[in-house]
Amino acid sequence: MSAPLRELLDPTITHQINQLDLNPGSRVLEIGAGTGHVTALLARAVGPLGRVVAVDDDTTYLKPSAVVDVYGRDVAVNPDAVPGDAESIDLVVARWPHHRLVDPAALIDRMLARLRPGGWLVLADVTDTRPRVHRADTSGDEDLINRVVRRLYDTTLGAGGTGRWPGDVEGLLHGRGMERVCLSAASETWTGGGPGCGVLAGIVDHARTTLRALGVHVDDIDYFQTVMADPHVLLRSIERRGLHARKPA
Ligand SMILES: C[S@@+](CC[C@H](N)C(=O)[O-])C[C@H]1O[C@@H](n2cnc3c(N)ncnc32)[C@H](O)[C@@H]1O
């Protein structure tokens, strides 16, 4: 995950985790741990007596420690790939472990199976509500923003909706008997030249190779950077979503 994307998404997951009174010594399972950024937050929260099991099929950036165990597993299809015993985990966390998931709802079921009664699930991602242009210098700029952002969303969220948690993840969790389901989604207005548009420009720059492969012209990617610095531009931001829910005790 790129630094700009992390900057955008960190407040949501931190807010979710801070709302749970996680005891020092808790056992945590993190799915799709990536660079270990959230893993480090979790390790601090559980302290030296706790344990964080970090799972990813690419463990290049994950470092085991006295508190953190690292598992290289592909959790997409095999239920046994999620480590741990049934009902043994105090908190399961998964921030946007997508891209190659075939069935995100099935992964939620596997995570719930690991949660102990009274344990918490925390999920986060971005929704498929795209940034909307409120104002741009020209209609050409507006078209360009929409075109590049549409491609970015196609690549990051997946055309079949597998690049994020299900749209009605709340309903799914209620259907599984989870309680205290609490979802928050946040978006705001970004101005060209401000931090939000800077983050979006950074994400597009980071995804340059993928966008080019999808047919976005290099000049459009470059001009997108210029437009995101134009103070005349006003956008509705990327929408972030975070959720926690408890398994009945
Ligand atoms: C967008 S990154 C998010 C990383 C991390 N959760 C974070 O928020 O910083 C998605 C991560 O999920 C992992 N991932 C995707 N599909 C996976 C799968 N089927 N099994 C295991 N890990 C997977 C990727 O390797 C990547 O590290």
pLDDT for the residue 22: 87
- Check which CATH number belongs to the domain holding 62 and give it: 3.40.50.150
Are 233 and 135 a contacting pair, CB within 8 Å?
Answer: yes
Residue 209 burial (C-beta neighbours within 10 Å; 0-12, 13-18, 19+): exposed
Does one domain contain both 89 and 137?
Answer: no
Does one domain contain both 54 and 176?
Answer: yes
Does one domain contain both 180 and 223?
Answer: no
pLDDT for the residue 27: 98
* pTM of the full structure: 0.93
pLDDT for the residue 78: 81
Measured CA to CA, the distance from residue 102 to residue 114 in angstroms comes to 20
For ligand 1, is residue 144 a contact (CB within 6 Å)?
A: no
For ligand 1, is residue 163 a contact (CB within 6 Å)?
A: no
pLDDT for the residue 4: 76
Measured CA to CA, the distance from residue 144 to residue 211 in angstroms comes to 13
pLDDT for the residue 99: 73
Does one domain contain both 223 and 113?
Answer: no
pLDDT for the residue 163: 84
pLDDT for the residue 77: 80
Cα–ligand 1 centroid distance for 114 (angstroms):
19
Does one domain contain both 77 and 196?
Answer: no
Does one domain contain both 177 and 217?
Answer: no
Does one domain contain both 95 and 15?
Answer: yes
**Number of folded domains that form the chain:** 2
Domain coverage including residue 195? 133-157+188-236
Does one domain contain both 107 and 194?
Answer: no
Does one domain contain both 108 and 51?
Answer: yes
Task: Give the pLDDT means over successive 10-residue stretches in the chain (249 positions).
Answer: 83 93 93 95 95 96 97 88 94 90 91 97 94 96 96 81 88 98 96 94 93 95 98 96 97
Does one domain contain both 142 and 91?
Answer: no
pLDDT for the residue 156: 83
Best residue among 2, 9, 57 to mutate for probing ligand 1's pocket (most ligand atoms within 8 Å of CB) is 57
Measured CA to CA, the distance from residue 86 to residue 105 in angstroms comes to 18
For ligand 1, is residue 38 a contact (CB within 6 Å)?
A: yes
Does one domain contain both 83 and 152?
Answer: no
